[in-house]
Amino acid sequence: MKKIITLIFVLGLLPAFLNAAEVCECTSGEVSCLNKCALSKANAAYKKAQTDKQNAVNKVKANKDSLVKNAKAQKETAKAKKQKLETDVKAQKEQIKKDAKVKKEQAQKYAATQKQELKAQKEKAKTDVKTKKEQIKENIKTQKDEAKTAAKNAKQTLNAEKQSWENLTK
């Protein structure tokens, strides 16, 4: 790097020496004036090169710092997005679990309700059958009693007729 800077310095001095007589208003025979003029031009060129170099270094540092800051900011943003996604996924999983649990409980309640309704219907049917059976028994008993009474009455009527026939025949 030093060799390149030296080469640039020498190349910067060469035109200064060649044009020194024209620019510095020195007479062509004054070597010390030409040397001073060339040295001042060379120093100015060197200082300009150093300033340009320092400006370039500063720009590179600024760009580097900016890139580092941007990279860090992007990394933090990505990290935050990742955490948010993980949190959202976790929340969605929890919500799905809760929904599934609620649906399961609802299904169980519905099944229990259906079971109770079926049990109630079964009991009602049993009661209805029992009531009908008792009604039929009562009807049969009533009809049987009526038949007995009718048979008794018929027997009494027959006995009375028989008695009347017997009384007639005597």
* Measured distance CA(10)–CA(15) in Å, rounded: 9
Q: Which structural domain range is residue 125 located in? A: 2-169
pLDDT band at 168 (very low <50, low <70, confident <90, very high): confident
Place of tokens 């599934």: 100
- Give the residue-averaged pLDDT of 105-128: 95
pLDDT at res. 9: 56
Nearest to 110 by CA among 98, 102, 95: 102
pLDDT band at 128 (very low <50, low <70, confident <90, very high): very high
* Measured distance CA(69)–CA(66) in Å, rounded: 5
Contacts of 20 (CB under 8 A, 6+ apart): 26, 34, 37, 38, 41
pLDDT at res. 84: 95
pLDDT band at 167 (very low <50, low <70, confident <90, very high): confident
pLDDT at res. 4: 64
Mean pLDDT of the chain: 85
Q: How many CA atoms lie within 13 A of 1 on its CB side?
A: 1
17 CB-contact burial (10 Å; exposed 0-12 / middle 13-18 / buried 19+): middle
Nearest to 50 by CA among 17, 16, 42, 66: 42
Number of structural domains the chain divides into: 1
One-letter amino acid at 107 equals: A
pLDDT at res. 169: 75
| Whether pLDDT at 20 is above 50 | no
pLDDT at res. 51: 94
Q: 40: which DSSP letter?
A: H
Could you tell me if 32 and 3 are in contact, meaning their C-beta atoms sit under 8 angstroms apart?
Answer: no
pTM (2 d.p.)? 0.38
Task: Tell me the pLDDT tens digit for each residue of 28-83.
Answer: 667 788 778 878 888 888 899 999 999 998 988 888 888 888 999 999 999 999 99
Which alpha helices (H) appear in the chain, and where do they start and end? Answer: 2-23, 31-169
Q: Two tokens at 139? A: 């009807």
Q: Two tokens at 151? A: 């048979």
